[in-house]
Amino acid sequence: MVRDFIYFDKDKIVSYGSQLLGGMTETVIESSDITEEKSNEITTKAGISGEAGLGSSSANLLAEILSKLGSLKVNVDGELEFVHNGTGSSSRSQSNEKVLYHHQLTLLREALIEQKLLIDLDKYPPYDWNKNKVRYKVREGDFIEFTCNARLFDVVHLKSIVDSFEKIIDLLQQSEISDRLNKLDTTEQIQAYAKDMQENDFKHGYSVLTSILGDKMNPVMYNALLEFVRGISDGDLSRVVTKYYLTHSKQMDNCFSFVAPVNEDNFTEPKNDLIFKYGYEPKQDWKVLAQVCLITKEPKEEKSGLSRLSNIDMKSIDGIIDSITEQFSLMSAELGLHSNIKYPDISINLIALYR
């Protein structure tokens, strides 16, 4: 089977595989010996005439061949042919190095399956997913695999969207002001309007934004939302820059997600290239291999959200510090701030994402 990988955490695969298999090889070298044989036939012809003297001590090649005949003299006229046959052999070693890399995932899966450590969540029907029953089929530390819909949350890209949106709004504001100036008839009216804009900047800004945004968005709320989104994109409200939200393909209402922080070094291609090709929510069915980290608990019936501020212990400095840390941590999780995972989501170690 050929897999198309989006995300591949080689370090985790090697770590888990080494523990299960007693080590994991990254490369395999295959060697083979090759022997070659060569045959040569050399034919020498020479014309001779006259008297040839050959002695037993002669050093020429013909004398060596005929040395057994002893010392002789011959009268020859014609052609002498000499044939020499020879055979030689040579051997060499050839080696090929195979990089296992993605094959390591196959080795890890096979080891997990063989030792009954891998839970295939695809076996559960849609009813179990939509009623959150699958949450109770897994435990923290379990290895899981399932077919999923993947949604990428990327703070860096969010920042580029905010910057682009602001530039578009600025362009529309300039266009609106230009339209208003074009409706004025005289130079005196234009000068008076420009002076009024300088003296009443907020009033004109509010008026222009209202014309652009329409009645459904108050300019003050627009600025507040823009600052809030900028806080997220600048990392003030989200310490995890990139993450995946994974839901099973059988889920209809997406009642909970498996959430995984992403190390961008584990993307198989540059992140922007993946976003360009697949989008933030690829529509294909993807396969995920992961390990469960934290299964969030259902919140208790007690003060929650901003009302938690009344739970702060004001009796001592230590009490104030401890209770502020506790209550604000709980409150950030309840409000769904991106530094924490909220109920009913499950956090996971993402090992591989592929199709």
The 10s digit of each residue's pLDDT in 27-64 is 555 555 556 665 555 555 555 454 444 444 444 555 55
Tokens representing 101?
A: 């890399």
State the maximum Cα–Cα separation within the chain, in Å, rounded to a whole number: 136
Q: Identify whether 20 is part of a domain.
A: no
Same domain, 260 and 144: yes
Same domain, 308 and 173: no
Q: Are 177 and 208 a contacting pair, CB within 8 Å?
A: yes
Q: Total structural domains in the chain?
A: 3
Q: Identify whether 15 is part of a domain.
A: no
Q: 11 to each of 29, 98, 217, 230, 287, how far by Cα in Å? A: 22, 19, 48, 33, 19
The 10s digit of each residue's pLDDT in 263-315 is 989 999 998 898 888 888 877 789 999 999 999 888 765 555 556 566 666 66
Q: Identify whether 301 is part of a domain.
A: yes
The 10s digit of each residue's pLDDT in 179-198 is 888 888 898 888 888 888 88
Same domain, 244 and 311: yes
Q: Which residue has the tokens 């108050």?
A: 218
Q: Identify whether 309 is part of a domain.
A: yes
Same domain, 75 and 129: no
Same domain, 269 and 337: yes
Once rounded to an integer, what is the mean pLDDT over residues 208-228? 79
- The three-point CA angle 244-114-248 to 5° equals 25
**pLDDT grade, residue 69 (50/70/90)?**
very low
Residue 272 is predicted with a pLDDT of: 85
Query: Domain boundary at 233, 261, 296, which?
Result: 233
Q: Identify whether 132 is part of a domain.
A: yes
Q: The whole model's pTM is what?
A: 0.61
Residue 55 is predicted with a pLDDT of: 46
Residue 144 is predicted with a pLDDT of: 97
Q: Which helix (H) or strand (E) holds 258?
A: strand 258-261
Its sign, for the CA torsion 102, 104, 107, 112, is: negative
Once rounded to an integer, what is the mean pLDDT over residues 189-213? 84
Taking 50 as the threshold, does the pLDDT of residue 11 lie above it?
A: yes
- The three-point CA angle 102-107-109 to 5° equals 100
Phi-psi region of 235 (alpha: psi -120 to 50; beta: other; left: phi over 0): left
Same domain, 268 and 290: yes
Q: Which is more confident, 313 or 118?
A: 118
Alpha-carbon distance of 128 to 57, in angstroms, equals 104
Same domain, 140 and 246: yes
- Residue 270 half-sphere exposure toward CB, CA atoms < 13 A: 3
The 10s digit of each residue's pLDDT in 127-159 is 888 888 898 899 999 999 999 998 888 777 667
Alpha-carbon distance of 163 to 211, in angstroms, equals 21
Same domain, 126 and 275: yes
Same domain, 179 and 255: no
Pairing relation of β-strands 286-295 and 258-261?
unpaired
**pLDDT grade, residue 258 (50/70/90)?**
very high
Residue 338 is predicted with a pLDDT of: 47
Q: Identify whether 168 is part of a domain.
A: yes
Same domain, 347 and 213: no
Tokens representing 187?
A: 């130079």
Task: List b or e across 224-245, with b for residues whose CB sees 16 or more CB atoms inside 10 angstroms.
Answer: eeeeebbebbeeebbebbbbbb
Tokens representing 355?
A: 């199709």
Q: Which is more confident, 89 or 215?
A: 215
Alpha-carbon distance of 160 to 121, in angstroms, equals 37
- Residue 351 half-sphere exposure toward CB, CA atoms < 13 A: 25
Percent of the chain with pLDDT over 70: 61
- Enclosing domain of residue 191: 157-233
Same domain, 56 and 200: no
Residue 349 is predicted with a pLDDT of: 95
Q: Which amino acid is at 149?
A: N
Alpha-carbon distance of 10 to 21, in angstroms, equals 16
Alpha-carbon distance of 282 to 275, in angstroms, equals 9
Same domain, 179 and 279: no
- Report the range out of 6-20, 39-53, 59-73 with the highest average pLDDT: 6-20
Q: Identify whether 134 is part of a domain.
A: yes
Residue 351 is predicted with a pLDDT of: 96
Query: Domain boundary at 233, 263, 295, which?
Result: 233
